[in-house]
Amino acid sequence: MQTIEQLLQEQTFLESILNFNLRIIDSNVHFWMIRTKKGYFYNEFISNGFVALAWNIVTEKTDFSITETLKDQILLSYEDIKRPTTVINKCKSFIKDIKPGDYIVIPSAGSTSITIALAGEYYEEESKTYEIEKEVISRIEKKDVQINEVTCPYRKRRQITPLVTISSSSVDGKLLRAISNYHGISSLDLYWRNILSLLYDSYSYKGNLNIIYHICRDTPIGPRVLSRLLLAMTDCWCQVVDENKISAQVRIASPGPIDFLFSEIIPACSEAVTVLGGLTIGTIAVTKPEAIPTFLKGLFSLPASVNQEYIASERAKLQLEQEKKQAPLELESKALDNLDKKLAILEHLKALGADPNTIRNAAVELSETFSYLQIESAEKPRLDAIPINDDASELLEGETAEEETSD
């Protein structure tokens, strides 16, 4: 007989399968990078929940149709500008193109860490004048001030909701190279997968399904274990998805993610995703990796004699027993609750028309790699912003690749 603690853990495991809810990312969502003037405004942006863009003479009231006049105004106001059209396009993107719900990547000084945030509404801080902007930026360029000694002088602002702050060591090379450009604002639409894999264990974007296993083992990984995970995951999902629609990206480093992509299966396979998603990834956030194989074996070893009639009969017997003893039988009651949940999961799998033996073997095989690989959920609270202290300016010496130019 299981203990009450074991039954409660099993209950959490089973409920995470039954209640698996795939995160759907709107297909109109876009991805951006907003720089922080060599890290000077990074802490302020994250702490106060906004990002901002330079060139205060351009506002939401600016008439972008009078291009030549606007270009002349920019050239007169900002002597370091060589390509005013680029400035106009950046301002238009910040004011008009970024939408609430878009994802924004915000790098710190030297890009030693990045914060990913959701974009909010656009607004302007009217107290931040052109003159204030010129003064503050001049002091920064002359290195007359340290980080945290000045506040952001930019007028154009957008609210943000920070989601996670992570070390750049956890970011893959493609995304790191993308955020090393000079521009104050850049589109990162080409890197949607790299960004979303840092945030979520599973999601759907533009009809695709992505499931990510975040490996935290920091020592060499045996190739057989890695192969077992890839093969078991494929075997499991091939029961409901054409194998040609399944691909995987493996970051050849440890720690690092394994990112499975199932092409264009949403919404056609939504019902199957709800069941298999719960089985293959939904339990990671709530159950210790080493316990998942045991719970899965218990789920799939349910005797054929267990059905709704059996559970109803056992509940009736339990009720009589409780009345006789005049005391609740919590252990027995919880065990019946878990039987009911197991039966519901197995009935969902049966409705898919998949081979239950293949699903069982593949799911258990997959889960047996979790402990060795130290698989962890990305969806735990991780917004522990890596602070930039007053000495961070030392990092900026010679950091030309990180310097934000006016163009």
Q: What is the DSSP letter of 110?
A: G
- Helical H segments across 146-215, by residue range: 173-178, 192-196
The confidence score (pLDDT) of residue 327 equals 57
Phi (first) and psi of residue 51, to 5 degrees: -125, 165
Same domain for 59 and 153, yes or no, is yes
d(CA 329, CA 345): 25
Q: What is the DSSP letter of 93?
A: I
- Which position has the higher pLDDT, 381 or 296? 296
The confidence score (pLDDT) of residue 390 equals 42
Residue 120 is part of which domain span? 35-198+382-402
pLDDT of 188 > 70? The answer is yes
Q: How confident is the model at residue 236 (pLDDT cuts 50, 70, 90)?
A: very high
Domain assignment present for 61: yes
Q: What mean pLDDT comes out for the span 131-157?
A: 93
Which of 217, 252, 367, 237 is CA-nearest to residue 300? 367
Tokens of 164: 């996670």
Domain assignment present for 407: no
Q: What mean pLDDT comes out for the span 120-124?
A: 98
The answer to whether 259 and 210 have CB atoms below 8 angstroms apart is yes
d(CA 385, CA 165): 5
Domain assignment present for 30: no
Same domain for 128 and 233, yes or no, is no
**CA distance to 105, 176, 186, 368, per residue, from 108 (Å):** 10, 12, 15, 38
Q: How confident is the model at residue 166 (pLDDT cuts 50, 70, 90)?
A: very high
Domain assignment present for 273: yes
Q: What is the DSSP letter of 128?
A: -
Lowest mean pLDDT among 227-231, 339-343, 354-358, 400-404: 400-404
Give how many domains the chain has, as a whole number.
2
Same domain for 9 and 123, yes or no, is no
Q: How confident is the model at residue 385 (pLDDT cuts 50, 70, 90)?
A: very low
Domain assignment present for 51: yes
Same domain for 245 and 258, yes or no, is yes
pLDDT of 69 > 90? The answer is yes
Query: Could you tell me whether strands 208-215 and 375-376 are parallel, antiparallel, or unpaired per DSSP bridges?
Result: antiparallel
Same domain for 9 and 80, yes or no, is no
The vertex-285 CA angle with 284 and 288, nearest 5°, equals: 60
